[in-house]
Structure 1
Amino acid sequence: MKRNKYLIVLAGMIMQLSIGSIYAYSKWIEPLSVALNWDAHDTKTGFSLAICFLGLTAAFMGKLAQKVGPTKAGLIATVFLTLGLLGSAFAVNVGNIYLFYVTFGVLQGIGLGFGYVVPVYTVVKWFPEKPGLASGIIIMSFALGSLLASFLIGPLITSMGLSGAFATLGIGYGICMLLSALYLANPENARAIAHAHVDLTPKEIITDKRFIALWLLLFLNVCGGIAIISKAAILGQEVVGMSAAQATMFVAIIGLFNGLGRLFWSSISDKIGCWTTFMIFIGINVVCFALIPSFSTSSVSFQILTYIIIAGYGAGFATLPSFVKSIFGIEKYGQVLGYTLTAWSAAAFVGPLLLGLSTEITIFYLFSILLIIALIVGIWLKGLLARAL
């Protein structure tokens, strides 16, 4: 069946919207803690595991995903994510947090990994002239998935209970992902649009200094943003005294800016280059993280700074695919991108862990320092790229 490239984009967006619900995880923490008496810190481990297995799957199964094609890989994503959420419903029903880790964290995480890379790999091939914008639109949808989920989770819990909410989302997202997977396909001329590439083995990839620099850039940029996302609702209530309804809106707007940041900065990268784009949004976030402790007494200022930070956080993911492609070439792009996403896995544990080191708002200075280190890494990468010419 002949595919329309714009419907391919739509199919990719639907899959990303479905898996993006993971970013609304902070909406689950309090209900799980209250209903099952699970410690909030232990509950967050489910989120960290899901993101960890997302990155690991992208790294070690990315090559398989490209080999079997978008439809089969999309179906794998559908099965694992659906089983993960249905299994989470059962784990919650029996009150077993370790089973919850396996289902919500591991099984769903594998589904997230396949579901994340497949649309990105596929859509970029349909739009070789605008790789930044193409990947930005798709990855924006992942962020907007949290916006949708933040409004669904609360009402579902109220009407169906925790177990019913997980099961309903599992079935709903499963249907959406199934329809998406059945339409996704590579362009017929995918080989013809391939660019010159660097032919590297996996060992050569992970020892390549350019890869190491990219990995560090993503890791350092993700740490602060994912720390905020992991407990956004709680931060809003504890730092500036938001009500439950205001915290829900806070989480939703975070999802919106996460998405808009991805679209805006990825489109900018097509014009000014990926390296320059990275340096700009990282530099902006250095300032924003440093300002948060001074403006934490104002709800409006705290929210504005947070939204800017999250936009820059999302920008890293949206700009990364075209950055990797420009350095390593399209033939190795998928494999290298997968390995680079393990930085996301690492940051999913490190970021929330660092945020939990102190209850003082001054902990945000630490994330500003990490981003200063990221700027130094970026300068190092610039030198590596110049020498490679």
Structure 2
Amino acid sequence: MSKNKYLIVLAGMVMQLSIGSIYAYSKWIEPLSKELNWDAHDTKTGFSLAICFLGLTAAFMGKFAQKIGPKKAGLIAAAFLSIGLLGSALSVKIGSLYLFYLTFGVLQGIGLGFGYIVPVYTVVKWFPDRPGFASGIIIMSFALGSLLTSFLIGPLCASMGLSGAFGVLGIAYGICMLGSALYLANPTSITNQHLHEDLTAKQIITDKRFIALWLLLFLNVCGGIAIISKAAILGEEVVGMSTAQATMFVAIIGLFNGIGRLFWSSISDKIGCWTTFMIFIGINAVCFALIPTFSTNQISFQTLTFIIIAGYGAGFATMPSFVKDIFGADKYGPVLGYILTAWSAAAFAGPLLLGLTADISIFYLFAVLLLIALLVGLWLKTLLLKPVTS
């Protein structure tokens, strides 16, 4: 049966919207603390594990996912994510933090990994002339998932308890991902086509261009993911938001995460990926440096945060076409998978750095990291100007 490429996009968006629920994590912190007396630092490990296994799955299972096709890989994503959230419900019910790490972190993380790479790999193949836009609109949905979930967590916890909230979301997102997986497919012209020679892991990780791209993503992600991991708490403690205001803050963060992904990826199709990266990294460096000065003003703090998150999301949306431009369409899949391990590393590094001190001056450190990213970008530019040897 012939597939409609726009329905393929819709299916990919539904899957990304479902797995994007992980970015509403900060809304789980307070109910977990109130009901189970779990410290925010302890529960944050569950979030870091989920993102870590997302990246590891993307790196080491990307080739497998492409081999079995988007439908089967999507079904695996749905199963792991649903089991992970249902397991989280059980862990909360019996009060086991380590079971929470296993289910919310590891199992859900594997589902997130499959659910992240499958739509991106698939949809980009349907839009070879606009890879930046295609990856941007899909990855935008991941960010918008946090917007939806941030509004659901509170009412669900209030109506059916914390365990019930995890269970309902596990079932609901599992059903959505199931429907998405059953429609996803590669274009007929390339189904089962495998004419290129795969790069080995050693060839990928020793390529200086890969190292530069990995560092760019890692340094860009650290600050953004640190904010996302404690967004609600930052809003309440830094600028004195109420619980309702903090919920809206988290939701709007999800919105700007999505807007940034679509906007900057579309820009990259026009001015190129390298230039795009340098612009949003430079803007974010300035915003991080300004936050300590304007942290007492709620509007200024939120505005700077939203700009940062837009640039944070831009890195994910622009990276697929950046990799494709450098390594070619036939090799970008495995290379992108390994680059996403930078996300895994940043999932631990970013929140860890933010937790070094409660002082808002820690944001200067993230500004410095982005200045280093600009230097890495300049290094990458020199590498791209050199002829590539086989």
- Deviation, structure 1 residue 193: 10
What percent identity do the matched residue pairs reach? 81
Give 5+ residue unaligned stretches, structure 1: none
**Partner residue of 1:375?**
374
Deviation of 1:198 after TM superposition, in Å, equals: 8.3
Q: Contact (CA 8 Å) 1:197, 1:328: kept in 2 or not?
A: no
Alpha-carbon displacement from aligned partner over 1:224-253 (angstroms, at most 9, x marks no partner): 000000000000000000000000000000
Structure 2 equivalent of residue 283 of structure 1: 282
Match of 1:213 in 2: 212
- Confirm or deny that 1:95 pairs with 2:95: yes
Separation in 2, partners of 1:198, 1:251: 44
Q: Which amino acid aligns with 1:126?
A: W
Would you say 1:332 and 2:351 are equivalent positions? no
Aligned partners of 2:99, 2:198: CA distance in 1, in Å? Answer: 42
Structure 1 CA distance, aligned partners of 2:339 and 2:180? Answer: 25
State the distance in 1 between where 2:372 and 2:304 align.
Answer: 20
Which moved further from structure 2: 60-69 or 197-206?
197-206
Q: Tell me the residue number matched to 1:258.
A: 257
Q: Deviations over 1:200-220 (max 9, x none)?
A: 321100000000000000000
Q: Offset at 1:388?
A: 2.8
Structure 2 partner of 1:346? 345
Equivalent-residue separation in structure 1 for 2:39 and 2:139 (angstroms) = 32
Match of 2:15? Answer: 15
| Secondary structure of 1:185 counterpart | coil
Counting only pairs closer than 5 Å after superposition, residues 68-107 of structure 1 correspond to structure 2 as: 68-107=68-107
Write the distance in 2 (CA, Å) between the matches of 1:83 and 1:192. Answer: 30
Deviations 1:303-325 (A, max 9, x none): 00000000000000000000001
SS of the equivalent of 1:330 reads coil
Write out per-residue CA displacement over residues 28-87 of structure 1, whole angstroms, 9 at most, x where no aligned residue: 001001100111100100000000000000000000000000000000000000000000
The aligned counterpart of 1:362 is 361
Amino acid in the other structure paired with 1:208: D
CA deviations over 1:116-170 (Å, ceiling 9, x no partner)? 0000000000000000000000000000000000000110000010000000000
Equivalent positions of 1:1-389 (< 5 A) are 1-190=1-190, 200-388=199-387
Structure-2-length-normalised TM-score: 0.98
Alpha-carbon contact 1:290-1:368 (below 8 Å) kept: yes
1:278-330 Cα offsets, whole Å, 9 max, x none, are 00000000100000000001000000000000000000000000000111111
Q: Equivalents in 2 of 1:160, 1:2: separation in Å?
A: 43
SS at match of 1:129: coil
- Is 1:214–1:340's contact at 8 Å kept on the other side of the alignment? yes
The whole-number CA distance in structure 1 between the counterparts of 2:198 and 2:95 is 49
* Counterpart AA for 1:160: M
Q: Distance in 2 between matches of 1:263 and 1:359?
A: 33
Shift of residue 190 of structure 1? 2.4
Give, in whole Å, the separation in 2 of the partners of 1:56 and 1:304. Answer: 33
CA pair 169-283 structure 1, distance change in 2 beyond 3 A: same
Contact 1:198–1:328 (8 Å) recurs in 2? no
CA contact (8 A) 1:60 1:339 kept: yes
- Alignment partner of 2:61: what SS? helix
Whole-Å separation in 2 of the counterparts to 1:388 and 1:113: 34
Q: How many Å apart are 1:192 and its aligned residue?
A: 11
Distance 1:138-1:193 versus aligned 2 partners, 3 A rule? farther
Q: Deviations over 1:171-218 (max 9, x none)?
A: 000000000000000001127999x98853211000000000000000
Q: Quick one: distance in 2 between partners of 1:354 and 1:31?
A: 24
Does structure 2 conserve the Cα–Cα contact (< 8 Å) formed by 1:197 and 1:330?
no
**Mapped partners of 2:197, 2:290: distance in 1:** 42
Runs of 4 or more consecutive aligned structure 1 residues displaced over 6 Å after TM superposition: 191-194
Check whether the contact 1:21–1:145 (CA below 8 A) recurs between aligned residues. Answer: yes
Which amino acid letter does the alignment assign opposite residue 217 of structure 1? L
Tell me the amino acid that sits aligned with residue 64 of structure 2.
L
In 1, distance between residues paired with 2:120 and 2:378?
Answer: 27
C-alpha distance in 1, partners of 2:362/2:159? 38
Extract unaligned runs of 5+ from structure 2: none
The CA distance in 1 between the partners of 2:15 and 2:201, in whole Å, is 28
SS at match of 1:388: coil
Indicate the RMSD between aligned Cα atoms, in angstroms. Answer: 1.4
**Any conservation in 2 of the 1:88–1:100 contact (CA below 8 Å)?**
yes
Alpha-carbon distance change, 197 to 326 in structure 1, aligned in 2, over 3 angstroms: farther
The superposition leaves residues 92-138 of structure 1 with CA deviations (integer Å, 9 ceiling, x where unpaired) of 00000000000000000000000000000000000000000000000
Cα distance in 1 for partners of 2:162, 2:202 equals 44
Q: TM-score, normalised by structure 1?
A: 0.98
For structure 1, which segment, 57-66 or 197-206, has the greater mean C-alpha deviation from structure 2 after superposition? 197-206
